[in-house]
Amino acid sequence: MSGFGWSSTTDEVLAGKDLSGRTVFITGANSGLGQETARAMASRGAHVILAGRDQAKLDESVAAIQETVPKAQLDTITIDLTSLENIRAATSRARQRFQKIDLLINNAGVMATPFLHTHDGFEMQFGTNHLGHFAMTAELMPLIERGALKRIVNLSSRGHHFAPVNFDDPHFERRAYDPWESYGHSKTANVLFSVGLEQRFAVMGIHAYAVHPGGIQTNLGRHMTPEMMEALMARVTSKDAGFAWKTIPQGAATSCWAATAEELEGKGGVYCEDCHVAEVDDESSTGGVRSYALNPSFADRLWKLSEELTGAKFPS
Ligand SMILES: NC(=O)c1ccc[n+]([C@@H]2O[C@H](COP(=O)([O-])OP(=O)(O)OC[C@H]3O[C@@H](n4cnc5c(N)ncnc54)[C@H](OP(=O)(O)O)[C@@H]3O)[C@@H](O)[C@H]2O)c1
């Protein structure tokens, strides 16, 4: 066991860690868990690249971090995960500007959006949460290969319990759209992506970890109406009577743990929650990872589908 748990914070998890000389690339770093992960890692000496789709919001995030970590080494890069063209341009700039990435934290995400599509016609949640990160990661691999730590953290969610990946109709073209089924399938994809990365790149010393951060009040709920929020809370508390919100530093702790814990070295392709590796459990509504999210054949199928849809090619 890690010695950390549900209530551990980013600063507790990273206490005593020296991240100087390490470069961390975090998507969605202008808000919520991404900003806190950036702050905590910068406070341990890391050079943090904050990625987000809006330069003004990134500048505000940099200013907020510098208030508490005046010596923070921060860079920003704009990237919009809803556009393959934008992803290719942004990652090309990243390869010119930066020498390496030690830790890649694929943190950006949207939840329970209306039925919308990305610039490339993908359903918005699957397109942003999974396909955008898939394409971006492929383009950043040359930098990750040059890093020393070589870890990739993919933010998933307990919401992956809502649904497996629907390979037959990933964009809801032939069935009614359900915002929660869509979120669930995109978050299952985040776990399967970690499994797929591990299958292919463990041999090169690159390891990938999926993370459920907990329930934290951030901007993620922006697409929910008050009725949707009420229904979600009723669903959550009926399944988990002891449900409690985490603070943002508690929520970002598992990302920091998965990115740095020595006990995880060489052991990727797992799903972490509350600063430990979760057990496979197909019944629990209060924790654990569904077996469909760790299934190697589903991971392979998702990999092929994602390559076909995005045209992205990982180095072989
Ligand atoms: N909060 C929770 O309870 C919870 C629970 C389980 C899992 N998670 C996961 O944790 C991660 C972080 O969420 P959070 O709670 O910190 O939410 P948040 O505060 O809303 O942060 C999400 C970030 O993703 C960015 N983003 C959204 N769409 C993007 C796009 N097309 N291109 C680039 N960036 C984009 C947002 O940028 P803008 O500000 O520009 O929109 C924002 O910076 C998500 O993957 C989420 O699914 C959160």
Quickly state the pLDDT bin for 286 (edges 50, 70, 90).
very high
What does the DSSP 8-state code read for residue 245?
A: P
Rounded Cα distance between 125 and 108, Å, is: 11
Two tokens at 2?
């890690």
pLDDT of residue 93: 98
Each residue's pLDDT tens digit, 37-52: 999 999 999 999 999 9
Two tokens at 182?
């869509």
With a pLDDT cut of 90, the percent of the chain lying above it is 97
**117/241: higher pLDDT:** 117
Give Dmax over CA atoms of the chain in angstroms: 52
8 lines ligand 1 (CB under 6 A): no
Cα(203) to ligand 1 centroid in Å equals: 31
Rounded Cα distance between 41 and 302, Å, is: 31
Average pLDDT of the residues in 75-92: 98
- Protein residue closest via CA to atom 17 of ligand 1: 220
Quickly state the pLDDT bin for 96 (edges 50, 70, 90).
very high
pLDDT greater than 80 at residue 68: yes
106 lines ligand 1 (CB under 6 A): no
pLDDT of residue 1: 59
Distances (CA, A) of 253 to 7, 32, 111, 116, 222: 9, 12, 21, 31, 23
Read off φ and ψ for residue 212, nearest 5 degrees: -105, 120
Q: What's the CA angle centered on 89, arms 210 and 309, to 5 degrees?
A: 55
- Residues known to be catalytic: 177
Closest CA to 50 of 32, 71, 75, 85: 75
164 lines ligand 1 (CB under 6 A): no
H or E, element range at 32: helix 32-43
218 lines ligand 1 (CB under 6 A): yes
Closest CA to 131 of 180, 197, 87, 195: 87
pLDDT of residue 219: 96
pLDDT of residue 316: 85
Rounded Cα distance between 299 and 192, Å, is: 5
pLDDT of residue 255: 99
- Protein residue closest via CA to atom 5 of ligand 1: 215
Query: What is the residue extent of each domain of the chain?
Result: 10-307
CATH number of 10-307: 3.40.50.720
What does the DSSP 8-state code read for residue 207?
A: E
Q: Which atom of ligand 1 is nearest to the CA of 155?
A: 45
170 lines ligand 1 (CB under 6 A): no
Quickly state the pLDDT bin for 308 (edges 50, 70, 90).
very high
216 lines ligand 1 (CB under 6 A): yes
Quickly state the pLDDT bin for 28 (edges 50, 70, 90).
very high
Q: Which of 220, 229, 245, 250 to mutate to test the pocket of ligand 1 (most atoms within 8 A of CB)?
A: 220
pLDDT greater than 70 at residue 211: yes
Please tell me whether the overall predicted TM-score, pTM, comes out greater than 0.95 for this model.
yes
Quickly state the pLDDT bin for 8 (edges 50, 70, 90).
very high
150 lines ligand 1 (CB under 6 A): no
Q: Which atom of ligand 1 is nearest to the CA of 33?
A: 16
Rounded Cα distance between 302 and 306, Å, is: 6
Q: Which atom of ligand 1 is nearest to the CA of 28?
A: 43
Quickly state the pLDDT bin for 206 (edges 50, 70, 90).
very high
249 lines ligand 1 (CB under 6 A): no
Two tokens at 173?
């073209």
Q: What is the dihedral of CA 208, 184, 212, 139, to 10 degrees?
A: 30
Distances (CA, A) of 185 to 48, 152, 293: 30, 20, 10
Q: Which atom of ligand 1 is nearest to the CA of 190?
A: 45
> If you average pLDDT over every residue of the chain, what do you get?
97
Each residue's pLDDT tens digit, 247-278: 999 999 999 999 999 999 999 999 999 999 99
Rounded to 10 deg, the angle between the 133-145 and 179-201 helix axes is 20
Each residue's pLDDT tens digit, 133-187: 999 999 999 999 999 999 999 999 999 999 999 999 999 999 999 999 999 999 9
Q: Which of 26, 30, 31 to mutate to test the pocket of ligand 1 (most atoms within 8 A of CB)?
A: 31
